[in-house]
Copies of this chain bind each other. A is one copy, B any other.
Amino acid sequence: MRAKHTIKDIAEKAGVSIGTVDRVLHERGRVSKASERKIVAAIKELDYKPNPIAQTLKNGIVHKIGVLLPNPDLDSFWRPCEEGIQEVISEYSAFTIDVVLYYFNPFKSKSFLQLGHKAYRDGVHALFFVPLFDRETNSILEKFDDADVLLATFNSPLLNTIDLYVGQDLVLSGRTAARLLHMSSPDKGKFAIVHINESFENAGHMRKKEQGFISYCIENGLNAPLTITLMAEEFKTKLVSFLEMHQDLQGIFVTTSKAHEVAKVLDSINQEKIILIGYDLLDENLEYLQKGTIDFLIHQDPKTQASLGLRYVIENLLFKKEFPKEKLLPIGIINSENAKSYIAQASV
């Protein structure tokens, strides 16, 4: 690799001053066609690329990045996201960035809306958020429409024009679960999909996972899975009677991170044959994974979603690094053995 060429090299080659080159580069006008031609030719010939380091130093602004995240104190599912964000913040502590965290109440769309608007008023240069509520998200996006603000989301997909989305293919994760159950009981299979409906915000997620699971069953000539939705109240009663009604059940797929609650019930009635699959590396889930009540966990990796997305945003602002419009993380299958390797992963 030959040494990098600078603006000065271009200027010399084209026989003009660096100021003129700069004007061409930034299309600020006030340049004769003749000079412009020569400069453009020189840029091409020398394959000039501006030095992003120098640009960043020059601009010298403190990039303000808003992160709009559900409050982990209100729903611990978001704890790993917060951790990921914090890690990235300390990773870039030496750089001129200012990450402002806005924690909204995941059960109140208004809280989301208000904090989104607050981020706008605070004049953030980028907003990285979980678009939990469709209508409110649109309202926020409208606000930012004119402003030159980098908009990035994670966890929940969104149709709107967003610069970046980091997440997972939920349909595929449902199919993956179905395949795992199918593997472990290779006949026609009698399976159940359990939705645990704590807050309606997960509805979309659960539906997509279910859809994937069912599509696998159909394509592979399996019996259609049973479906049941459990709420916090009468959780155990309902589940137990469901199990009694379906004695021949071979596997259960829990579409949320609360598989441990199902495991608890299964344990209490000494039901050991049923294969149980759930989501996420929560401590409660891991405990039952080690005991063998939970057989597989699917890793949604919210932490990586958050940290990777924020990193894309930061590196774009700082170093002008490009990023993909959509980044779908791999669907991790976790059993009692490789769990460790995913937990260690946590710390960078």
Contacts and interface: CB of A to CB of B under 8 A. Distances in A.
Interface of A: 1, 3-4, 49-54, 56-57, 62, 91, 93-99, 168-169, 172-173, 175-176, 178-180, 183-184, 216, 275, 295, 318-321, 324, 328-338, 340-342, 344-345, 347-348
B62 A57 contact: no
Contact of A330 (B93, B295, B338): B338
Contact of A344 (B93, B328, B340, B348): B328
30 contacts: A1-B97, A1-B98, A51-B57, A51-B95, A51-B96, A52-B94, A52-B95, A53-B53, A53-B57, A53-B95, A53-B318, A94-B319, A95-B319, A169-B340, A175-B338, A176-B335, A176-B337, A179-B336, A180-B335, A183-B275, A183-B335, A324-B347, A328-B341, A328-B345, A329-B341, A329-B345, A330-B332, A331-B341, A332-B332, A333-B335
A173 B98 CA distance: 40
Closest 6 CB pairs of A and B: A333-B333, A331-B338, A176-B337, A175-B337, A176-B338, A1-B98
A91 B316 CA distance: 12
Contacts of A98: 1
A3 B95 CA distance: 10
A332 to B, nearest CB: 7
Contact of A49 (B50, B94, B183, B295): B94
A319 to B, nearest CB: 8
Given A62-B4, A94-B51, A184-B184, A333 B338 contact: yes
Contact of A93 (B49, B324, B333): B49
Main secondary structure of the interface of A (DSSP, over half): mixed
A173 B179 CA distance: 21
Given A91-B321, A175-B337, 6 more contacts: A1-B97, A53-B95, A53-B96, A331-B341, A333-B333, A333-B335
Most buried by B among A50, A91, A332: A332
A93 B2 CA distance: 12
Contact of A338 (B1, B99, B172): B172
Given A4-B62, A335-B180, A341 B172 contact: yes
Nearest to A301: B330
Nearest to A321: B91
Nearest to A96: B4
Most buried by B among A4, A56, A334, A337: A337
A179 B341 contact: no
A299 to B, nearest CB: 8
B330 A345 contact: yes
A3 B332 contact: no
B53 A179 contact: no
Contacts of A275: 183
Contacts of A1: 62, 97-99
A172 B337 contact: yes
A21 B157 CA distance: 50
A184 to B, nearest CB: 6
Contacts of A184: 183-184
A342 B318 CA distance: 29
Contacts of A334: 333
